[in-house]
Amino acid sequence: MRSVSSGEGGTQAAQKGNDKAIIMTEIKTLIERDIDRRGFLKCMQWAGAGVVWSFAAGVPTSRLLGAPKTRAEDFAFVQISDSHIGFDKAANPDVTGTFQAAVDRINALEKQPDFILHTGDLSHLAKAAEFDTLDQLLRGLHQKQTFFVPGEHDLLGDDGKQYMERFGQGRNGRGWQSFDHKGVHFIGLNNASQLEGMGSIGDQQMAWLKSDVAKLAASTPIVVFAHIPLWAAYPEWGWATKDSAQALDLLKRFGSVTVLNGHIHQVMQKVEGNVTFHSAMSTAFPQPAPGTAPSAGPMKVPAEQLRQVLGIRSVDFVAGSHRLAVVDSPLGAA
């Protein structure tokens, strides 16, 4: 991107506004050109049965949830996101009920997942009562092992103190972490501290990430989970991470990288070389598709349609494969 000079004449404030408009236009142009040239981008409001997405060499394939699997998996895990416990507006006045539906759906899986990932915004206002309610709901899961990363709503008021005390114990810094499971390296990032309206990883966490992956062989499959997208899903609404390119550069030597996030409350997918990006549905409320509304925020849909745009995600891993089978399952699916 070219640099933008402040120029001469006019007020400084007016020039800054012009500069910002130029920069955002160029970002949007670069993103659109990049997606057209090198990637795959899919955005949809899910309805009916869940769909399994698999990617090989950047080519997506799918099957309906419930269709027979074509190969056995080594293990599976489930992603849930954006439970927003405490939210009570028209978009969903019963987020506790829809989260319980997610719990029931996970418990009803034919094979229980090895663990669960929650990709942030556990609470709506980071209040003690909201975290208490979520904790009680999580106790109803058959699978008790859950890994968390915070969303920006979990950091409100006390800069994440309560979140860290309850869900970040034993983690690094402000909640980042990594662990290995059956040959796969998982990395949980806190990118919910926002900078200029977008997510941010920051220097301290970036240095930790560099050290964390330095010891790994390039053949190690990597799964990154974070709250805000690590790709430019829609920067105009803050659906991007300002320093994500630096983080992804640290991961480019690996043959298989999968990045999971929440925040945008809908399924969006992109393939970029050996990296696949997946954004998940919320268990609380949907948000509009990028650019279809004046701004991001809770979107009200007819009550009978709500559970078709909320859901969970399960992921199957097969050793020796460069792809994960991703199943997005609406809460209202049969």
Whether residue 223 is predicted with pLDDT greater than 50 in this model: the reply is yes
pLDDT band at 334 (very low <50, low <70, confident <90, very high): low
Asked if residues 284 and 266 have their Cβ atoms less than 8 Å apart, the reply is no
DSSP string, 145-194: -EEE---GGGGTTTTTHHHHHHH-TT-BTTTBEEEEETTEEEEE---BS-
Tens digits of per-residue pLDDT, 287-299? 999 999 999 999 9
Distance, CA of 4 to CA of 275 (rounded, Å): 31
Give pLDDT, residue 228: 97
91: Cβ contacts below 8 Å, ≥ 6 apart: 284, 285, 286, 298, 299, 300, 301
Give pLDDT, residue 319: 61
Q: One-letter amino acid identity for 331?
A: L
Query: Cα–chain-centroid distance for residue 111?
Result: 24
Average pLDDT, the chain: 79
For the sheet with 267-272, list strands across it: 40-44, 267-272, 275-279, 257-261, 222-225, 184-188, 177-181
Give pLDDT, residue 33: 36
- With pLDDT > 90 as the criterion, what percentage of the chain qualifies? 54
24: Cβ contacts below 8 Å, ≥ 6 apart: 235, 236
Whether residue 44 is predicted with pLDDT greater than 70 in this model: the reply is no
Residue ranges of the alpha helices (H) in the chain?
12-38, 95-107, 128-138, 161-167, 203-214, 244-251
Q: Which residue has the higher pLDDT, 86 or 9?
A: 86
pLDDT band at 126 (very low <50, low <70, confident <90, very high): very high
Distance, CA of 252 to CA of 228 (rounded, Å): 20
Give pLDDT, residue 325: 62
Give pLDDT, residue 73: 52
Range with lowest mean pLDDT among 31-45, 221-235, 239-253, 294-308:
31-45
Tens digits of per-residue pLDDT, 127-166? 999 999 999 999 999 999 999 999 999 999 999 999 999 9
Tens digits of per-residue pLDDT, 264-281? 999 888 888 889 898 998
pLDDT band at 217 (very low <50, low <70, confident <90, very high): very high
* Mean pLDDT, residues 31-60: 32
Whether residue 3 is predicted with pLDDT greater than 50 in this model: the reply is no
Tens digits of per-residue pLDDT, 60-85? 233 333 444 444 457 788 899 999 99
Whether residue 53 is predicted with pLDDT greater than 50 in this model: the reply is no
